[in-house]
Amino acid sequence: MARLLVVDDDPALVKVLRISLTARGDEVVVARTGADALQQAASLRPDVVILDLGLPDVDGVEVCRRIRQWSEMPIVVLSAAGDEQRKVSSLDAGADDYVTKPFGMAELQARLRVALRHGADRAGDHGAVELTVGPLVVDAAHHTATLEGHVLELTAREFDLLAYLARHAGKVCTHHLLLQAVWGTGYGTESNYLRVYAHRLRRKLGDAGTMLRTHPGIGYQLTDDDTDPADPPPRTARSR
């Protein structure tokens, strides 16, 4: 049983989410505006925030940024199809994952599950030296990574990338975030580097390579949640 904060200004969608999520045994709290969302997030400390980007008062990206100033609580963003730029902005501002409207409940619940588990992990092992994501163990102190006990042969940069993704397991890390963290502050647009390194990491991870998920045009996510969402991914590219 988790406490979920749903932030959306469309009353009908809010009702559907409340009914469906409550049926699963979760507690649902609703905020209609960005200001209300910030206040509820502070006072009720929800386990996860479901945040619509198009709010009547404060921009959803700004809500992400302000929550991140004081809390690591997982944030799953709801965004309209074709609004890739704001989706990326919200992830850069600290959101963990996104769901594109219109979405199926199974897909939303899968994302919430990932966010909840990794959110709890992150709260527990804050500053931990050893990071565990499924069969993968990353030891930041000794610069080693093991998969089911076998040591992976990684270059320094491959290790840095894997370690960053493991530290933010469950979060969709944008190209910009990864390049800045692993390559340095002078980088940010060289997403072709990432494609190469993601490919190498997947090959070295073997069967576990599916843990590293590609979000085309957005970034990468490392998660051990292998239950793929029941719904097919939204076909955002169709109209363009």
Partner 1 sequence: MASYPRALAGAATAAVLVAGLSAAMLLLRDHLSVAFDGLVLVVPVVVGVVVGGLAAGIAAAAVGFVVYEVVLIPQYGTSAVGAAQSWVALVVYVVVLVLVAKVVADQRHAWAEAAHREQETRRLFDLSEALIAETPDLAQRVVDTVQQTFGSGWVVLVLPNDDALHVAASAGLAAPVAQLDAVLGTPGTPVHLLEHPSLSLPDDPAVVALVADGHPVGLLAISPAPAHHHDRRLLATFANQVALSIARANLRELAVRSERLEAAEETRQILLRAVSHDLRTPLATIKASLSGLRDPGSGLAEPARQELLGLAEEQADRLDRLVANLLDVTRVEAGTLLVRRQPVAVDDVIDEALAILGRPPVTVALADDVDLVDADHLLICHVLVNLVDNAFRYAPGDIVVSAARHAGRVELAVADRGPGTAAVQLRSTASLVGRSAGGTLAPSAHLAGDGHSGLGLAIADAFVGAHGSRLSLDDNPGGGARLSFTLPVGRADAEDLDSTELAGSAVAAGAR
Considering beta carbons, is residue 63 or 108 the nearer one to partner 1? 108
How far apart are CB 240 and partner 1 at their closest, in Å? Answer: 12
Q: Which of residues 24-43 bind partner 1 (CB under 8 A)?
A: 24-25
Let me know: does 173 contact 218? Beta carbons within 8 Å.
no
Give the three-state DSSP class for 174: strand
How far apart are CB 143 and partner 1 at their closest, in Å? Answer: 42
Neighbours of 225 (CB within 10 A): 19
- Is 237 near partner 1 (CB under 8 A)? no
Of 3, 72, 82, 123, which one interacts with partner 1 (CB under 8 A)? 82
The backbone torsions φ and ψ at residue 131, rounded to the nearest 5 degrees and listed phi first, read: -110, 130
Tokens of 64: 């992400």
- Is 23 near partner 1 (CB under 8 A)? yes
Residue span 214-233 as binding mask against partner 1, x where in contact by CB under 8 A, dash where not: ----------------xx--
Q: Which of 155, 141, 237, 139 is nearest to 204 (CA)?
A: 155
Considering beta carbons, is residue 56 or 124 the nearer one to partner 1? 56
CA distances from 77 to 55, 180, 189 (A): 12, 22, 23
User: Which residues partner with 219 through β-bridges?
Assistant: 174, 215
Placement of tokens 């069969």 in the chain: 135
Considering beta carbons, is residue 97 or 158 the nearer one to partner 1? 97
Residue span 97-126 as binding mask against partner 1, x where in contact by CB under 8 A, dash where not: ----xxxxxxxx------------------
Measured at the alpha carbon of residue 89, what is the angle toward residues 123 and 49, in degrees to the nearest 5? 40
Q: Which of residues 51-80 bind partner 1 (CB under 8 A)?
A: 53-54, 56, 80
Considering beta carbons, is residue 16 or 128 the nearer one to partner 1? 16
How far apart are CB 25 and partner 1 at their closest, in Å? Answer: 7
How far apart are CB 232 and partner 1 at their closest, in Å? Answer: 12
Return d(Cα 117, Cα 130) in angstroms, integer: 17
Task: Say how many residues touch partner 1, by CB under 8 A.
Answer: 31
How is residue 45 annotated by DSSP? -
Burial (CB count within 10 angstroms: exposed 0-12, middle 13-18, buried 19+), residue 132:
middle
Contact footprint for partner 1 (CB under 8 A): 10-13, 15-17, 19-20, 22-25, 53-54, 56, 80-83, 86, 101-108, 230-231
